[in-house]
Homo-oligomer: A and B are copies of this chain.
Amino acid sequence: MVTDNRHRSTTQSDVAKEVGVSRTLVSFAFRGAPGVSDETKQAIFDAAKRLGYRPNAVAADLARKHRSAVGLYLMDIRNEVYADILSGVRTALHEQSNRLILSVSRSTDGEDQGALKSLMEAHVGIVIAATLLDSDEQVRELARSVPLISVTRPVEGVDSVYSDDAAGARAATEHLINLGHTRIAHLAGPVYDGHTVRRQSYAKTMRDAGLKPLVLAAEDFTQDAGQRATAELLGMADRPTAIFAHNDQLALGAREAAYAQDLSVPGELSLVGYDNSRVAALHGIDLTSVDLHAAELGLIAGTIALDRLRNPEAPVADRCLTTELVMRASTAPPA
């Protein structure tokens, strides 16, 4: 049995013709607009079903002369943070009948451009972007053509929802310092403008405590990159006794690298991640991590999106959430 994949899809006209009414009636019927007799409506739905008709939301939005869809850009689909943000956004948009269109970048490279650009050209009224790696200036430039909400990171002059990373990184670093560690490394991702808050807060906290910062930059934000970078680090003469990683994935990579060299966690290496993803809580992983309230970030971003859609002239939003250090068994005093 072969499904019939017609080349041209059925339109309102086809349905109208089939029933013997005008396109307008079909349009009204499908939008539940008042002013269509029940019989006509029924006849229309029947014919539509028979013909396999699907409304074309995109054409509708075009005709409506305004962009109602919201676009959501996610930097890394493998990082649970972004799933949480998505779920928050969706909650905010719930029942608002706004279409949500998604786009995710390839986690392996830092070029947002492809995925983000295609989203901005998809006739969306606003795009919620989590996380942009471009410079502040570039983000502002992007926001010039389509309203943009930067989530996870503040950008002056652009609606932003983020968490207090300086505080989060400080808490993580201080936790390690208080435990008695002195050689504490920071496992960062690649350097991007506007993406150095955690790193700098770590460095400042170290210096304030009279300790020497040691920053290691992984090639990207994935577990594999974290593992590779850490493997090097652990080969050093005076290897650190603790690592604070930019995110849980990197931390998990560091953990693998440690075990690969028969170093136990936290016995010989203490580990702190960032994101507090579900895997961090798994028995046997028990990764100490900083929670940045991703779902709430998404929820707020969704709310702002709705506001912005309604009122383009509203003042720029800037919402900063707190972070929370969740202590687990991956950190302990140095041996």
Chain A residues with a Cβ under 8 A of chain B: 1-7, 9-10, 52-59, 61-62, 66-67, 77-78, 80, 83, 86-87, 90, 99-104, 106, 118, 120-123, 140, 143-148, 156-158, 223, 252, 255-256, 259, 278-279, 282-285, 308, 312-313, 315-316
Contacts and interface: CB of A to CB of B under 8 A. Distances in A.
Given A3-B144, A144-B3, A55 B121 contact: yes
A90 to B, nearest CB: 7
Given A9-B146, A67-B9, A90-B106, A2 B316 contact: yes
A77 B67 contact: no
Contacts of A313: 5
Which residue among A9, A252, A256 has the maximum number of chain B CB atoms within 10 Å of its CB?
A9
B99 A101 contact: no
Contacts of A252: 282
Contact of A3 (B80, B102, B158): B158
A15 to B, nearest CB: 12
A248 B91 CA distance: 26
A59 B101 CA distance: 16
Contact of A102 (B59, B62, B102, B143): B102
